[in-house]
Structure 1
Amino acid sequence: MSTPDQTTHASTAGFDDEAVLLIGHGSRREKSNEQVRELAADLESRLGIPVDAAFLELAEPALDEAFAQLAPVTSQVTVVHCALFAASHVKNDVPLAIEQARAEHDLEINNGAHLGVHPAILDLLDDRAAAVEGKLGVDREESEVAVVVCGRGSSDPDANGDVHKLARLLFEGREFDRVEASFIGVTEPTLEDTLHGLSKHRPDAVVVLPYMLGDGVLTQRVRDWTAEFDDEYPYVDALAGDPLGTDSRLLDVFADRWQEARTDSVSMSCDTCKYKVDLEGYEEDVGGARAMLRALAHQEAHADRDDIDEEPDSHDAPEKHVAVCTNQTCAKMGSPAVLERLRQEVRDSEHCDARITRSSCLGRCGDGPMVAVYPDGVWYGGVEDDDAERIVGDHLDRDRIVSELVDQTL
């Protein structure tokens, strides 16, 4: 697969039909990034079409660079995620990057779902557990073996709930004494608490499965905490297994997600999405306003990545970022004209340092067209194309909010 010093496979293949973009998180450990590139190469062999790797942060190419490289040589790109669950990267960051790429390039982009809970992953975890059992010298049919599935942890209840679902499905039909879900951080129960809780049941062995793709910093933390537990409780043998890595069964999942995306059959857990429904403790997230702002903040926070060798100004962030909702309802109310007028006004301005991009639904259907200005956290509603001059001239140029258009502020 392509590296920061090479063009993409798409460019060298000279294709003009479809390409796949496999998106990984990105790591300071190059070994983890190489695992994503290896998966991309294997998926290319599996599908028979070009597959390139891109990263959300800390590695190259970034998403915007990858789309820019693909735009001259293909008409359709299908995005496949390495993300294990649907948290902020899947729900916010990647969709934002896709909307920006659609606005900047003549590309049809299909966005796939996260890996999620899949039979192939359950089989893979079962084998990872069996490998640890072999090292410990125990047999789950003859001994009491407890398993801990340890995820990264998220502020998204959907993602955390799926870790528990995965643990339960791993338990069903197998001879484990118990299977628990735990997390490295952000949410509870933590791995440390789960391990100490299991010690009270005195199993013969505890198998800890790091539910992560790459062998990075968090995976090592899981190993370290498990080793500390093993030392503290000599009557329980505990050992951590390997992450998912580049196992060929992941290709089954990627292939399914690719097929879903290109046939418009992606299924997301909207019934329990904190941006869609009113969940206890997450009421302020409903409507997607904060989701969009977090995505923009995350994108700009990594705009000038000091740990990567690149031109110092190649990712400089603009002073302002303006998102215009172009979802169906706002589009019918005239948001495409607002978008183009804002872009024209910014081009004509001598002092304005702003980026104008499309946005998917901002959760204010009926109050649009909606225009959100970041980092100010100002949302304008009912915007008409004639209002673009005031938004640019007053707000973007002079930091004077156009008060009569304000819908909400964050």
Structure 2
Amino acid sequence: MSRTADTVEIREDEVALLVGHGSRREKSNEQVRELAAGLEGRLGVPVDAAFLELAEPSIPEAIDGLAHSTSRLTLVPLSLFAASHVKNDLPLAVDRARAEHPGVRFHAGGHLGIHPAILDLLDDRAATVEAELGIDREDDDVAVVICARGSSDPDSNADVHKLARLLYEGREFSRVEAGFIGVTEPLLDEVLHDLAKARPDAVVVLPYMLGDGVLTGRIRDGADEFDEEYPYVDAAAGDPLGTDSRLLDVLSDRWQEARTDSVDMSCDTCKYKVELDGYEEDTGGARAMLRAMTHQQAHEDRENVDDEPHAHDAPGTHIAVCTNQTCAADGAPAVLEKLRQAARDADADVHVTRSSCFDQCGDGPIVAQYPDGVWYGGCEGEDAERIVSAAERDRIVSELVHQTL
């Protein structure tokens, strides 16, 4: 058992839930389950796997299945960085669980983040590529690029740069740079071409990904294209993090932090908490909700893209119901279920989900209709059919309108 499990009291009825993103590639989902099994052996408590989207069980389904047999449940996200899933989706799931299972004590863990074990893992990934290329960082000029997915969250992107600097410190690399495969800059191609000007002997590209999916393939393709374009530089990409046992070291620490209520989030640089230059419109609960739904819609719009790992079936209308404490007490869970039933009965092109607080406490239950930007207030279950019917006809229920955005 790890040092983490040795330092805390473990109750027999305690369980943990490892939360992965979810993928249409079953191999990626199996990696999450493999890590969950490894973490169970490490912690000495039952550990199940759940997914944010695209795979089953969902977080609510997993919690509902575990809550009857435990008094303490700790959720640990298998997320590299703190972006919207960790900052919004996971806390929302925990709030819902606390409301629906008052007899269970819930804890939410932090993302993997920056950790010595991950730095060691990246160092080993780089050494493997060096050996394949027949080079030695002590004798040759070796540059490294850590390539991440890229995010619209500045915290997430900043952590990639911090990771790159920490990998550089104390090691014999000539340079370690951060790059991204999409969403933000600098893109991998830009970083590689910039490195070529310094004429290193070799460039090692490290995919900062958990699974070996579409994006990892694009990173490998980028490294291969660079290798062909610059014959005086040897270049190759390494493997993603995968299910390396060192990830269990990190997850064990995040589990302990969660169950002792000592999770330290980056609130001072969180675009949902404070106004950051360029991200002012994302600040606040309502803006966070709209940002999350816009993010989901962007994924849904990719449904016809081949091999798109984040594709969804795109709904015409997205309806979100606030299920935070005040709205929940006013009957939001019943409204949510009525809306879902109405959408099913009408076979409507409407997607109904839960959401976090809209900052309209006391006027709920609040129901938001997107992309129309309409909020309904004081909703009841009997309003569900009218809301869904209006959404299908591209209309709104005027007498329920609380405000518009």
TM over 0.5: yes
Q: Is the 8 A contact 2:95 2:324 kept in 1?
A: no
2:189 paired with 1:192: yes
Contact kept in structure 1, 2:271 and 2:283, CA below 8 Å? yes
- Deviation larger for 369-378 or 114-123: 369-378
User: Please, what TM-score do these two structures have when normalized by structure 2?
Assistant: 0.80
Alignment of 1:124-135 (within 5 A): 124-135=121-132
3-state DSSP of counterpart to 2:330: helix
User: Aligned to 2:369, which of 365, 374, 384?
Assistant: 374
Please state how far the C-alpha of 1:378 moved relative to its aligned partner. Answer: 3.0
**1:138 counterpart = 2:135:** yes
- Aligned partners of 1:184 and 1:218 also within 8 Å: yes
Shift of 1:294: 4.8
Q: Which amino acid aligns with 2:321?
A: A
Shift of 1:258: 0.5
Alignment of 1:141-160 (within 5 A): 141-160=138-157
Distance 2:82 2:48 in 1: 21
Question: Out of 207, 215, 236, which is 1:239 matched to?
Answer: 236
Distance 2:27 2:204 in 1: 25
SS at match of 2:262: coil
Identity of aligned residues (%): 62
Q: Which residue of 1 aligns with 2:321?
A: 323
Aligned counterparts of 1:367 and 1:193: Cα–Cα separation in 2: 50
Deviation at 1:92, TM superposition (A): 2.3
CA 1:320 to 1:196, structure 2 compared with 1: closer, same or farther past 3 Å? closer
Q: Shift in Å at residue 319 of structure 1?
A: 7.8
Q: How does 1:2-401 map to 2 (within 5 A)?
A: 17-106=13-102, 107-295=104-292, 321-324=319-322, 326=324, 331=326, 335=327, 337-339=329-331, 343=334, 360-362=356-358, 364=359, 371-375=366-370, 376-379=372-375, 399-401=396-398
8 Å CA contact 2:148–2:181 kept in 1: the answer is yes
Q: For residue 339 of structure 1, what is the amino acid of its counterpart?
A: G
Tell whether the 8 Å contact from 1:96 to 1:295 is kept in structure 2 after alignment: no
Distance 1:355 1:67, change over 3 A: farther
Going from structure 1 to structure 2, the CA distance change for 1:351 and 1:216 (only over 3 Å counts) comes to closer
CA distance in 2, matches of 1:355, 1:155: 24
Equivalent pairs counted in the alignment come to: 372
**Which amino acid counterpart does residue 343 of structure 1 have in structure 2?**
A
| Structure 2 residue ranges without an equivalent (≥5) | 1-10, 304-312, 345-349, 391-395
TM-superposition CA deviations, 1:127-167 (whole Å, max 9, x none):
11111111112221221110000000111111111111111
Distance 1:351 1:78, change over 3 A: closer
Equivalent residue number for residue 3 of structure 1: none
Shift of 1:366: 7.9
**Deviations 1:225-277 (CA, angstroms, capped at 9, x unpaired):** 10111011000000111111111111111011111111111111111111111
Once the two structures are superposed, residues 17-67 of structure 1 have per-residue CA deviations (whole angstroms, 9 ceiling, x without a partner) of 221111111223222222111111110000000011112223222223212
Instruction: Check the 8 A contact 1:395/1:401 in 2, yes or no.
Output: no
Report deviation, 1:377. 3.1
Classify the secondary structure of the residue corresponding to 1:22. strand
Pick which of 98-107 and 212-221 moved more: 98-107
Per the alignment, in what secondary structure is the counterpart of residue 208 of structure 1?
Answer: strand
The amino acid that maps onto 1:323 is V
* Pair 1:241–1:406, CA change in 2 (3 A): same
Deviations 1:159-205 (A, max 9, x none): 11111111111111111101100001011111111111110000011
Q: Deviations over 1:363-390 (max 9, x none)?
A: x388866724233533467x6xxx7589
Shift of 1:324: 3.3
- Kindly indicate whether the alpha-carbon contact (under 8 Å) linking 1:115 and 1:254 is maintained by their aligned counterparts in 2: yes
Gaps (5+ residues) in structure 1? Answer: 1-14, 306-314
- Residues 370 and 275 of structure 1: is their aligned pair in 2 closer, same or farther, counting only changes over 3 Å? farther
Could you tell me how far apart the structure 2 residues matched to 1:206 and 1:397 are?
A: 57
Mean Cα displacement is larger for which, 49-58 or 208-217?
49-58
Measured against aligned partners, the alpha-carbon deviations of 1:64-106 in whole angstroms (never above 9, x if no partner) come to 3212221222232211111100112212233333333334445
Give the Å deviation of 1:215.
1.3
Tell me if structure 2 keeps the 8 A contact 1:128–1:209. Answer: yes
Normalising by structure 1, report the TM-score.
0.79
Segment of structure 1 superposing worse, 26-35 or 249-258: 26-35
> What CA RMSD, in Å, does the superposition of the two structures yield over aligned residues?
3.6
Classify 1:208/1:369 alpha carbon distance in 2 versus 1 (closer, same or farther; 3 Å).
same
